[in-house]
Structure 1
């Protein structure tokens, strides 16, 4: 379409910079308070419905909660707060956090967050396709990170799962914030550009504000920035980086055309091709939990 005839052209140049500056400024202000925002509407609906069942077993609660990035992060924050943190090491995964908090508190906390999400989810309806794709990407990354941890390292697979699950929480948050601007609601390409440029740094700040363990926060830094993968997978950051590539990286959920077998991404996918079927299977099983 000719830009001169488009009533809602995407912003460029100084206009885009001004919009970006205002959005980032607003995000910085909000991060100083209590941060709650919706991720995937369908996930929040099903989570709310499930947790209203007083007879839900702990195994089911753990499975459901592990699929919702913000709820998972909030439960980790609560478990490692001064009120609940036990002497010694902090809780580094959801299993430990749920064990520390107890079933009733987990149910109440998760339900409260889900309800607050649902109250705001209409604001993100225009981005529903992106949020669903991003949620699916997060599940695949989490599955891949857990498998890699089990096969290639001595890192707790559940800690790797959590890191993979929340690695793109900054993108969810930016979608929520973009929905607050009427001009961005009708300019999805501008929103995608902003997410590509800022979701990593915003995510690190967000996870820190939510009180996530330092190991998890550090593992998400620059996860979309291409770099050489070490011969030996050693760190949580390696697991998130490789898992993110195997799950499609940001190109997939932003619907950009790219060759997954080209360049460094292709090298990584070829090197770890043997786990791709298991990653897909595990991700589908996680999705089925909330079916």
Structure 2
């Protein structure tokens, strides 16, 4: 089976909901389902988070990040962190755990490198999207953070399946974009029960159409993607010239500019990125 046929085969499986997740993802999916329940009480969320030491550490860390700790008062317990963050941010943290778990069992060095770079890219996009949403687009920042974290989840799923199809991730990235990214991405997003507005924003990234200044979540993700200093390894590299051009994107925002806002928010972006890279 050649690369294109392999992408089409996996895409067809994803379209039918026939997704094969690594065993370590199952518990995280159950946790996400519990947090998605509108009747999920804070005490329940605390117990669920405490049951996973890594997630507990990340929860406290993001609660103490510059973006969420405006008062400068650090906390050390999961309960206090949950109260500060709220369930929606916890959903983002669980999503980040699921995404990283998809690439955690890779043994091939090339696939490991791709997964590591893809997560670096994802963490930058998520951190930038949160700040751009809050300071520029007037979009819900928690939703933007969540969308940034999962915007490449289809790619992580493909990397997790790549060992079954030797060489599938070698060669022209356009094969992945043309024959796998959309259908596989949609299938994984459905499995994760991602809300329609977030799915639609991620689909807008696949078409590449946006408005400046950003007017909605899709525009916010695309701008964050352009500004991210690390490329996705599953797409054609932007290259120094394209990235330099992206970094010069500027426009008026109220009495300021995008460049000024990003400069003022650099510590927030750096702090969020650091937590996501834990």
TM-score (norm 2): 0.63
* Match runs of 1:55-70 below 5 Å: none
Deviations 1:236-261 (A, max 9, x none): 11211111111158567757362225
Confirm whether residue 121 of structure 1 aligns to residue 105 of structure 2: yes
Q: 1:149 to 1:204 in 2, by over 3 A?
A: same
Q: 1:236 aligns with which of 205, 214, 217?
A: 217
**C-alpha separation in 2, matches of 1:210 and 1:36:** 11
Q: 1:247 to 1:278 in 2, by over 3 A?
A: farther
Deviations 1:37-77 (A, max 9, x none): 49xxxxx9xxxxxxxxxxxxxxxxxxxxxxxx999876544
Q: 2:160 aligns with which of 176, 180, 183?
A: 176
* Match runs of 1:148-227 below 5 Å: 148-184=132-168, 188-190=170-172, 192-197=173-178, 198-227=180-209
**Higher mean C-alpha deviation, range 170-179 or range 117-126:** 117-126
Q: CA deviation at 1:165?
A: 1.0
Contact kept, 8 Å, 2:103 with 2:156, in 1: the verdict is no
Gapped runs of 5+ residues in structure 2?
A: 56-93, 252-257
Runs of 4+ more than 6 Å apart: 69-74, 109-114
Q: 1:131 to 1:228 in 2, by over 3 A?
A: same
Q: 1:177 to 1:160 in 2, by over 3 A?
A: same
Q: 1:100 to 1:167 in 2, by over 3 A?
A: farther
Contact kept, 8 Å, 2:7 with 2:176, in 1: the verdict is no
Q: 1:266 to 1:78 in 2, by over 3 A?
A: same
Count of matched residue pairs: 226
Partner of 2:35: 79
**C-alpha separation in 2, matches of 1:145 and 1:73:** 24
Q: 1:287 to 1:238 in 2, by over 3 A?
A: closer
Deviations 1:3-41 (A, max 9, x none): xxxxxxxxxxxx7xx432233323432562465349xxx
Q: 1:280 to 1:176 in 2, by over 3 A?
A: farther
Partner of 1:139: 123
Gapped runs of 5+ residues in structure 1?
A: 1-14, 39-43, 45-68, 87-96
Confirm whether residue 22 of structure 1 aligns to residue 32 of structure 2: no
Contact kept, 8 Å, 1:144 with 1:275, in 2: the verdict is no
**C-alpha separation in 2, matches of 1:189 and 1:241:** 25
Q: CA deviation at 1:131?
A: 1.2
Contact kept, 8 Å, 2:17 with 2:191, in 1: the verdict is yes
The 3-state SS of whatever aligns with 1:260 is helix
Q: 2:47 aligns with which of 96, 104, 109?
A: 104
